[in-house]
Amino acid sequence: MKAFSVWFQSLPPNMRGAIFVVMGTAFFVLTDIVVKFAGDRIHPAQMAIFRYVVGFTLLIPLFVRTGPARLKTKRLKLHFFRAIVASLGQAGMFFAVIHLHLADATAMTFTRPLFLTILAIFVLKEVVSGHRWGATVIGFAGVIFMMRPFGGEIDIAWFVALFTAFLFASGLIIIRVLARDDPPGTILFWYHLFGALIFAGPAAYVWVDPTPLEWLWLILIATFTAIGMNFFVRGFSVGESSLMGTMEYIRLVIAAVAGYFIFSEIPDIWTGVGALIIVSATLYIARQEACKEKAADQENRKN
């Protein structure tokens, strides 16, 4: 084990970061697989309450290190609003995974950068280039393609998945604001605490007594999510964020393979072309952002 640790630490930072991110995406797909199994009888609200309670428990060591004094915040209302947004997104994601193919639900999560472009303009007052606007429009064209608008009635799960991506993008914008004053431990503390409180009522209303196997599913959903998030954070803390962001798209491949072998879900031309358009558009946006950050960094060094 020690030899492996020494070897791993000897790897270039971007290589280590990429491994962490790929591991994180694998655990997120495992979470989706378990959600799909549990979704036959367990409501998304019941899954969510377990995700927050177990997640809070697993993060207690981080909260202890952060310290009671730093867990206090002057932005309690904004923390609560962020919890509402993210909690609805969490439940929406569970709903989408249950009712859509894994590859379809996963591809829709990659529309977050498209929504971030729009939110950055209206909320953060950022100036967006015409190229980025064009990529955003093309990305949403891919979404429409995936939704198969010419094949009859569109499943509501598609709209839930799209709205979920908007909610997650909104949550990221709020985190940017919160991070100006509060450390990660404080943000995670209030997110999990408020998330558990928000879902306490809905979960009690739709509650069904889980079977022993379903208890295992619920625990695994929370555990896999926490492990995946830990790998993700470590990956982005070690490697370059622009490169690590592109590694996340491996999740789509893993989801498609898992969907095929576990649930007999065969991706069709709508999924393939639509996902390709979305991924291409978001990768272009990521590249534009990386170039802009690099240029700004070089300008700061000159000054």
The confidence band for 242, taking pLDDT boundaries of 50, 70 and 90, is low
How far, in Å, CA of 260 to CA of 284, rounded?
28
The whole-number average pLDDT for the span 49-65 is 88
Determine, yes or no, domain membership for 260.
no
The confidence score (pLDDT) of residue 230 equals 80
Determine, yes or no, domain membership for 147.
yes
The confidence score (pLDDT) of residue 296 equals 64
The whole-number average pLDDT for the span 86-105 is 93
Which residue, among 94, 136, 95, 134, has the nearest Cα to 117 in the 3D structure?
136
The whole-number average pLDDT for the span 217-235 is 87
The confidence score (pLDDT) of residue 94 equals 94
Residue 175 clears pLDDT 90, i.e. is over it: no
The confidence score (pLDDT) of residue 208 equals 95
The confidence score (pLDDT) of residue 303 equals 61
In terms of pLDDT, which residue wins out, 297 or 36? 36
Indicate the number of domains in the chain: 1
How far, in Å, CA of 110 to CA of 128, rounded?
19
The confidence band for 200, taking pLDDT boundaries of 50, 70 and 90, is very high
Determine, yes or no, domain membership for 59.
no
Largest Cα–Cα separation, the chain: 64
The confidence score (pLDDT) of residue 278 equals 87
Strand spans (E) along 142-281: none
Averaged pLDDT of the chain? 86
Determine, yes or no, domain membership for 229.
no
The confidence score (pLDDT) of residue 294 equals 67
Percentage of the chain exceeding pLDDT 70: 93
Contacts of 222 (CB under 8 A, 6+ apart): 50, 51, 52, 53, 54, 55, 58
Determine, yes or no, domain membership for 121.
yes
Residue 75 clears pLDDT 80, i.e. is over it: yes
pTM over cut 0.85:
no
The confidence score (pLDDT) of residue 31 equals 95
Determine, yes or no, domain membership for 233.
no
Contacts of 52 (CB under 8 A, 6+ apart): 87, 192, 195, 196, 199, 222
The confidence score (pLDDT) of residue 140 equals 87
How far, in Å, CA of 237 to CA of 240, rounded?
8
Of 61-70, 144-153, 189-198, 272-281, minimum mean pLDDT range: 144-153
The whole-number average pLDDT for the span 110-130 is 79
Of 7-16, 135-144, 214-223, minimum mean pLDDT range: 7-16
First-to-final CA distance of the chain: 47
The total of other beta-carbon atoms located within 10 Å of residue 4's CB is 8
Q: Cα angle at 153 between 150 and 158, to 5 degrees?
A: 95
The whole-number average pLDDT for the span 223-239 is 82
User: 129: domain range?
Assistant: 99-181+268-303
The whole-number average pLDDT for the span 11-39 is 90
